[in-house]
Every structure is written in C-alpha cells, then in structure tokens.
C-alpha cells in the first residue's frame, strides 16, 4: 500500500463541522483528476439540507436535496493524493437522518453510486485517493 499523505486543510473548518465526527462512507481510488459529483435526496424527498466541503473548503452552502441533482465539477489537485468530500447535514428533514444518494462520474467512464447518512453529530465523508496512470 502506498504512503498516504494527510489531507490538506485549506482553511480552518467552521465550528459546526469541526465539532462533528466524520464517518467515512467510502474510500475510492481514482485515476482521473476531473470528477463530477451529483447529490440527490435518497428515497423520500423530505427537506434534507446539506453543505458540501472539499478538502475543508465550502463548495455548496445550505442546499436542499431533491430528485434533481446538486452538481459540482471538481478538478483534483495533482499534488495531493487524498481528497475529502464532506456532506454536512444542516437539518434532518422530516424523516431523520439526513440521507443522500451521491453519484460520482469521471471522464474515463467510471461511475460510483454511494448512499450517505449524516446526523447533527456526524458528517458523511468520501475519500478519493488520486493515483494518475
């Protein structure tokens, strides 16, 4: 297994997110530096709201999940091996916990479907390990 460098934190995390534990829901090795992230409400659309962080930087703030995706195009930093996506539950909707369907795609055609669950005490975290070919 290759040496793993710590995930850089570009800015200090907001108090709300740093006070919660991150639960890793997936660790995915990718060979493409470009990734498209689509986030949907999982199951019943019940008013779940999330903020999304990439390596400690806020990408999406207080967005309601629905059947229509929240789409984010990311370009991974080539100088960093590990990349963190954190889904921060702003609320629990009408049916706790805050759940999401997260679909990642890459230009080479890879597709990953993940189910996340977050609470007001625990974030959902996805780790990408970037290994260029």
At 71, is the secondary structure helix, strand, or coil? strand
3-state secondary structure of 82: strand
Distances (CA, A) of 67 to 64, 70, 98, 101: 10, 9, 14, 10
DSSP labels, 24-67: EEEEEEES-SEEEEEEEE-SS----EEEEEETTEEEEEEEEP-S
Q: Tens of pLDDT along the chain (133 residues)?
A: 334 444 455 555 566 666 889 999 999 999 999 999 999 999 889 999 999 999 888 889 899 999 999 999 999 988 889 999 999 999 999 999 999 999 999 999 999 999 999 999 999 999 999 998 8
Give the single-character DSSP code of 7.
P
State the CB neighbour count (10 A cutoff) for residue 118: 25
Predicted model pTM: 0.86
């Amino acid at each position: 297994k290759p040496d793993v460098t710590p995930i850089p934190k570009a800015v200090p995390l907001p108090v709300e997110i740093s006070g919660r534990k991150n639960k890793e829901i997936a660790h995915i090795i990718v060979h493409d530096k470009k990734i498209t992230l689509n986030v949907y409400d999982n199951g019943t659309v019940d008013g779940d709201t999330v903020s999304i962080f990439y390596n400690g930087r806020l990408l999406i703030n207080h967005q309601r999940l629905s059947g229509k995706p929240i789409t984010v195009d990311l370009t991974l930093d080539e100088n960093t091996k590990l990349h963190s996506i954190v889904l921060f539950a702003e609320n629990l909707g009408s049916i706790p916990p805050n759940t999401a369907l997260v679909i990642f795609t890459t230009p080479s055609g890879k597709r990953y479907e993940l189910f996340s669950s977050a609470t007001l005490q625990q974030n959902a975290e996805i780790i990408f390990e970037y290994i260029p070919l």
